[in-house]
């Protein structure tokens, strides 16, 4: 897939993005945090939980 072609989002991304936007509006999350950063953080958390039980 060329870099200019957007990747399809999994169906779970819309609710997660809605929560992110709500948290940003309340001031709980910085406005410069986007879905790529949030998904990377969630992935890393899941991997760490699997690794460390």
- The residue among 10 and 20 whose pLDDT is bigger is 20
CB 33 within 8 A of CB 20: yes
Q: State the Cα–Cα distance between residues 17 and 15, nearest whole angstrom.
A: 5
pLDDT (0 to 100) of residue 2:
54
Residues 6+ apart with CB under 8 A from 29: 20, 23
pLDDT (0 to 100) of residue 11:
78
Detail the DSSP E strand segments found in the chain: none
Q: State the Cα–Cα distance between residues 11 and 16, nearest whole angstrom.
A: 10
pLDDT over 90 at 1, yes or no: no
pLDDT (0 to 100) of residue 32:
96
pTM over 0.85: no
CB 33 within 8 A of CB 42: no
């Amino acid at each position: 897939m060329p870099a200019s072609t957007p990747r399809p989002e999994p169906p779970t991304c819309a609710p997660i993005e809605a929560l992110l936007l709500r948290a940003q509006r309340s001031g709980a999350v910085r406005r410069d945090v986007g879905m790529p950063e949030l998904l990377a953080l969630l992935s890393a958390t899941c991997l760490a939980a699997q690794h460390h039980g």
